[in-house]
Amino acid sequence: MANIRDQCSWVHMHEPEAATAKAKDLVRMAVAKAAHLTALPEQRLPVTPSALVIGGGLAGMTAALTIAEQGFPTTLVEQGDTLGGSALLLTADRFGGDPRKIVAELAYKVKIHPLISVRAKASVASVSGYVGNFTTTIAKKAGSEVINHGVMVIATGGKPYAPKQYLYGDSERVLTQLELEQRLASSRPLSAKIKQVVMIQCVGSRGADLAYCSRVCCGQALKNALRLKTLMPELSIFIYYRDMRAYGFLEDDYRKARELGVIFIRYTPENPPKVTPGHSKSSLLKVVGYDPLLGEEVELDTDLLVLSVGIVPEDPTILSRMLKVPVTADKFYLEAHVKLRPVDMAVDGIYVCGLAHAPKSMDETIAQAQAAAGRACQPLAKGSISPEPIVSHVDPELCIGCGACEIFCPYKAITIDKEVKPRKAMTLTASCKGCGVCAARCPTMAIDMGRFTLEGIRAQIAAFGESV
């Protein structure tokens, strides 16, 4: 291919003569390379028809159940002693249902499913292999276990951000939305003496400790405000917000909250509300915030201050290094392509869902877990995979076994076979994407890529600038 469009006409559109000369060079170089092309054989590799799911929250359980229901044995590894994760901290969804019940039912289905093996209080100690043929060691208290599987799903989830601001921890009147949820589900939710509640949105989020929006906090504040209003209709509720992100059907909750008298007060990140304590730990708090819409300060005495905190991912450092998959600057697992491959990781055969990928609500988590399971079932159902034909090839005569290729390969697709002496690099063709990083790093030029051989590249260089 001589890429005249991208590498010539678009980039040199204002220099037509030079562009024509370059186009001729590109064509000549492509022809010179074509003389060295050889056919690349298509390979077929068998797939172990089973899956590993890491994390036993809503996402992991949904993914495991969906894969098992397609008929594939699935191992679910959970580091804690119970299944359920963060959803167990929620006591109501926006329709009044109890997520803890839904999670308990799901956990029961997972536990009794004949094709699902749950490994609780366990973690992944090591992973080797490639799509279709992974081997994983699971560490448990009683010892370790080695399993073979064709695909895996990362569902390691997240946890609530721990606030340090707005007197959290110093006053018994300050709590998070999750703590309010727990109280609302208890037998004596709130004292009848409580007259006024203030909520503050985006605590620690969007440029403070966390750079991002956690999506669920606005919906959770609206849900809890409506629950409070149902319980105590006379209660005054004020919500300090930066933008209410009540997307989709959450807009209905926003409207309903306004109809019921919940007052929304805007604040800017430069001028967040200030909270001052009363005389004692139990006396009323004063919340003062500048409302940019009124152009005035609003001062409120509050019985209860509720902080809407965001979601922090479970630390991915160890697992992401083990799997050689990328994470974002915020430590969420990064999908291969946001639109075209939204639940795939860059490494084939590894998929992601739930809070491990990004903050999202329970319904979004379930939908994404089903999507990840659907993708994971594709190689399992096919029974074999056909790797990319353009892969790296190591010349054992030239390889000195230095390991530079193994260190720099972004896909864990080249390895030094430690059993063979002298040490030699070996390509795992099923994982190789043909990116060429290993070939560029090899100090002895022992590696070339099908379609990008040394002879071909040298012929291209020689053809460059030759007069026609």
Residues in contact with ligand FAD by CB under 6 A are: 54-60, 77-80, 85-87, 90, 123, 155-160, 178, 216, 219-220, 223, 309, 311, 314, 319, 354-356, 360-362, 365
Q: Which is nearer to ligand FAD, 73 or 157 (CB)?
A: 157
Q: Which residue, 243, 394, 371, 368, is CA-closest to 308?
A: 243
Q: Which residue, 176, 146, 150, is CA-closest to 164?
A: 176
The answer to whether the CB of 54 falls within 8 A of the CB of 124 is yes
Q: Which is nearer to ligand FAD, 168 or 290 (CB)?
A: 168
Q: Which residue, 413, 422, 351, 363, is CA-closest to 387?
A: 413
Q: Minimum CB separation from ligand FAD for residue 11, in Å?
A: 43
Q: Which residue, 166, 171, 136, 170, is CA-closest to 151?
A: 136
Q: Minimum CB separation from ligand FAD for residue 382, in Å?
A: 27
Q: Minimum CB separation from ligand FAD for residue 310, in Å?
A: 7
Helix 362-382 vs helix 58-69: crossing angle, to nearest 10? 30
| Distance, CA of 466 to CA of 468 (rounded, Å) | 6
Q: What are 151's strand-pairing partners?
A: 51
Half-sphere exposure in the Cβ direction for 207 (13 Å, CA): 5
Helices and strands: H and E segment counts in the chain: 12, 24
Task: Determine the 3-state secondary structure of 240 from DSSP.
Answer: strand
Q: Is the peptide bond before 269 cis (omega within 30 degrees of 0)?
A: no
CB atoms < 10 A from the CB of 150, how many?
26
Half-sphere exposure in the Cβ direction for 264 (13 Å, CA): 19
Task: Determine the 3-state secondary structure of 128 from DSSP.
Answer: strand
Q: Minimum CB separation from ligand FAD for residue 344, in Å?
A: 17
Q: Residue 93: what residue type?
A: D
Q: Which is nearer to ligand FAD, 57 or 387 (CB)?
A: 57
Q: Minimum CB separation from ligand FAD for residue 234, in Å?
A: 25
Q: Which is nearer to ligand FAD, 368 or 429 (CB)?
A: 368
Q: Which is nearer to ligand FAD, 362 or 439 (CB)?
A: 362
| Distance, CA of 110 to CA of 83 (rounded, Å) | 9
Q: Which is nearer to ligand FAD, 37 or 318 (CB)?
A: 318
Q: Which is nearer to ligand FAD, 58 or 265 (CB)?
A: 58
Q: Which is nearer to ligand FAD, 361 or 460 (CB)?
A: 361
Q: Minimum CB separation from ligand FAD for residue 70, in Å?
A: 20
Q: Which is nearer to ligand FAD, 73 or 163 (CB)?
A: 163
CB atoms < 10 A from the CB of 78, how many?
25
Q: Does the CA dihedral 388-392-396-401 come out positive or negative?
A: negative
Q: Minimum CB separation from ligand FAD for residue 371, in Å?
A: 13
Q: Minimum CB separation from ligand FAD for residue 133, in Å?
A: 21
Q: Minimum CB separation from ligand FAD for residue 411, in Å?
A: 21
